[in-house]
Structures are given as C-alpha cells and as structure tokens.
A = this chain, B = another copy of it.
Amino acid sequence: MKAIALSRRLRRTPFSEGVEAAGVKGYTVYNRMLLPTVFRSVEEDYRHLKDAVQVWDVSCERQVELRGPDATRLMQMLTPRDLRTMVVGQCYYVPIVDETGGMLNDPVAVKLAEDRWWISIADSDLLLWVKGIAYGYRLDVLVDEPDVSPLAVQGPKADDLMADIFGNAVRDIRFFRFKELEFAGRKLVVARSGYSKQGGFEIYVEGSDIGMPLWNALMEAGKRFDVHAGCPNLIERIEGGLLSYGNDMTDDNTPHECGLGRFCNTQSAIGCVGRDALLRVAQEGPVRQIRAVEIHGDPVGGCDRLWPVMAGDMQVGNISSAAYSPDFNTNVAMGLIRMTHWDEGSEVDVITPDGVRPATVRETFWI
C-alpha cells in the first residue's frame, strides 16, 4: 500500500474531522477532494452497510449550480434526457455528453426551482464544461460551485435514523425526490438517493459550518442503530451494478454502451449537445456494452487498470471493476463486452495481474 500525500489541492471536507476521528484507513481522490474508501475493512464495511446504517462523507459529489432565466434551457442543452416533464422536487440521473456523444459525466440533476438547478457530479470538472457552454452561447445564467457538501445516510436502518434527526417527514420522501427539511435552523435539501442499493438518503449540506454538528447529531442518534462512518463500498456497488465514471466509463464511451440508452430521448424535440451523434448511435446500436461478469476461482485483487477479456486469441472486452463478494462467494466484476460475447452465459477468459481466469458474462448484476 502506498501513502497518499496530502495537500490543500486534495480538498478536505466539512466532515473530515469526523471521518478522521472514525479511523479512516484509506482515501481516494474524487473531484480533487478526499473521499474515504475504507474504515474497518472493505469486507466489514460491506457487511455493516447491508445490516445497519452508515454515514458517508460524499462531499466530493460537488454541485454545479445554475441560476437565472436561462438555467432550464442550459440544463436541457447539457443532457439528452428529456427534462420537460420534470417538476421541482425531483432528481434525475442525467448522462452528459460532448458533441460526439462521449460521456463527460453521469450526475444527478436536482431541480430546486424553475430557474435554479444543482448538478451533483461524478468525477470530472463538469463546472468547466457548463461554464464554457454558457459563455459560448451567451446565456443569461450564473454557473458556479456553491458551498454544498452531500452527506449520505445509507443502509436498511437509514429511515429510522433520519427520522430521529429530521422527523417522520423523511419517511414520505419518494425515490429520487427531495424535501427541504430543517436542521439547526437551516432548510436542507434531503433526497432519497445514494450510491448503494441498500436504500437511504443524501443530505445536501449547504454551509460548511453545520457539517460537523450534523455529523455529530447523526452519530449520537445512530448509536441505537449501530451507526458507523462508511463510504461507497466497492463490493456492494459492483454487485448492484452501479457504474463509476472514470472507472467503468470515460469520454470514449456513449451512454448506449453504458446501458444508459433509456435516458437518451434524442427522438424528442429537445436541443442538446451531442444529439446528432447519439441519434446515429441509437439507430445503429452499440457494438459493446457494460456487462456483469463473474470471474471464477480465488478472490481477485483490485482492478487498478483495464483487464483484457479474451475469447481464445481475440480480445472481446475489458474488465474495469472487480472485487470478491462474500455474499455471493465469487468474484463480481463489470466491464465493456463486445456484442459477439455479451449474451448471458458467454464463457470468456480474463487476464488479471495474477494470471488468466475463466469467467462468465451475465445478463444481470447480483441483485
């Protein structure tokens, strides 16, 4: 294991003090900000996430805020997903592509008002793209990164813990909807969402000063639910088929390759960057797609580079994420697989750093 060299450039968060007190053991860097990756062990954190409730510092999901008369027009220019029926109080998962249809980010758009949006981003400086487009089109909109840091509460006991802090109103929040609820005299956006399949919420903490008070309140109230500090869990997110921008897709990939074609309404009369390229892709279909892949044999190590997927001497894909799953007692993985081998049950070989492993392509993830 190598050390991470800390500097101001790898930004701390409003919750870093709590994360450190909870004994964080490893970090990654996400949007130039520290993101914890392990507290006890990845396996222990996994078990606990599925059984209890965790508080996650996901401040690195930075917000791009759009404000002004052209905010909604700009938001629609940014994504091929049709936003016309989206109402205030909703969150949408929105692929964002460049003019060739290559994925630039896969954020969640939060509609705060008709003239005000947040884009809760994955790992790329989407702010620069949005500002560049707004400037080039001379739109009447302010684009910046506000002092908003999401804190996720995830796990089967998330509703109970959140109700202790925000009241029973949280229980009525529907999936990918939000309410504005009060903490310490401030109204905070609380959405039913999060980067796990165990259920829970994301609190958009507006104002760094209330970060630690909220963290401490959740930890205190959570004692009776066995709350722990946690973080997005590699095993759980692969089992659940949650993609990670930069790991499982880059600007080389179209939404259709990533299984996100259903979020591309390019046939509708919406104007968006990349529409022409995506219309072409939609017509012809992708020749490779992200698939679940089961890698047989002993537990594999972490996937820090693409692992080639072979059919005999022919490369038919790459594995981009992999981990050993205790619950399924096998190695769960995902990667881009060519159409010749993407059908359920295709037998392939994966070249891992520890040798060649037989593997099976699956139609569905482990859910």
Contact = CB atoms under 8 A, between A and B. Distances in A.
User: Which 10 interchain pairs have the tightest Cβ spacing?
Assistant: A136-B136, A132-B132, A9-B246, A125-B125, A5-B37, A29-B29, A128-B129, A6-B304, A4-B4, A1-B3
A38 interface: yes
A126 interface: yes
Given A4-B27, A5-B28, A12-B305, 6 more contacts: A3-B4, A3-B26, A6-B304, A7-B244, A7-B303, A8-B247
A2 B25 contact: yes
A150 to B, nearest CB: 19
29 contacts: A1-B4, A2-B24, A3-B4, A4-B4, A7-B28, A7-B303, A8-B247, A8-B305, A8-B321, A9-B28, A9-B123, A9-B244, A9-B245, A9-B247, A10-B28, A12-B304, A28-B29, A29-B32, A32-B124, A32-B246, A98-B135, A99-B135, A104-B128, A124-B128, A128-B129, A129-B131, A132-B135, A133-B135, A136-B136
Contact of A128 (B2, B30, B125): B125
- Specify how many copies of this chain sit in the oligomer: 2
Nearest to A132: B132
A273 B133 CA distance: 13
Contacts of A10: 28-29, 304
A73 to B, nearest CB: 13
A27 B6 contact: no
Interface in A1-47: 1-10, 12, 24-30, 32, 37-38
Contacts of A128: 104, 124-126, 128-129, 132
A88 interface: no
Contacts of A9: 28, 30, 123, 244-247
Q: Give the interface size bracket for A toward B.
A: 35 or more
A306 interface: yes
Contact of A7 (B4, B98, B133, B304): B304
A186 B27 CA distance: 39
A59 to B, nearest CB: 14
Nearest to A24: B2
Contacts of A130: 132
A196 interface: no
Contacts of A358: none
A7 B135 contact: no
B273 A123 contact: no
Given A2-B25, A25-B2, A123-B32, A8 B129 contact: no
A316 to B, nearest CB: 18
A331 interface: no
A3 B8 CA distance: 17
A285 interface: no
A289 B202 CA distance: 39
